[in-house]
Each structure stands twice: as structure tokens, then as C-alpha cells.
Amino acid sequence: MGVEDEAKDKVDKLAEQAKGAFGKATDDRDLENKGNGDQADANPDAFGQGETDSG
């Protein structure tokens, strides 16, 4: 992964976090959930939705 890709990923992550935080601060559950959903899509392991080894 190149430096440009890493920078874009970080910017996207910050935007998702900001969206969720702004939704929470303004009591806008739709926006808060959208931000949290975007974060889960980007990093499913952080939200317990990653692949599991069911062996």
C-alpha cells in the first residue's frame, strides 16, 4: 500500500469518526449510526463482525 493510499484511509477514518461524533452530539441517531456503520464497513474486526475461525 502506497503512502497516498494510507493517507486516504486515515482521512476516511477520521471523517467516519467525525460523522458519528457529530450525530451523537446533535442527537441525530441516523447520522450517528451512519458514521458507526461506515466505520464497521471499513474495519469489521473492530466491531466484532470480522471473520471468525469456526474450525
Q: In Å, what is the CA distance from 50 to each residue of 7, 15, 19?
A: 23, 22, 22
CA distance 21 to 8: 20
1-55 confidence digits (pLDDT tens): 789 999 999 999 999 899 999 999 999 998 888 887 766 666 656 555 555 555 4
User: And the C-alpha cell for 40?
Assistant: 464497521
Cα dihedral sign, 2-14-17-28: negative
Amino acid at 52: T
Choose among 18, 25, 23, 41: nearest CA to 33. Answer: 23
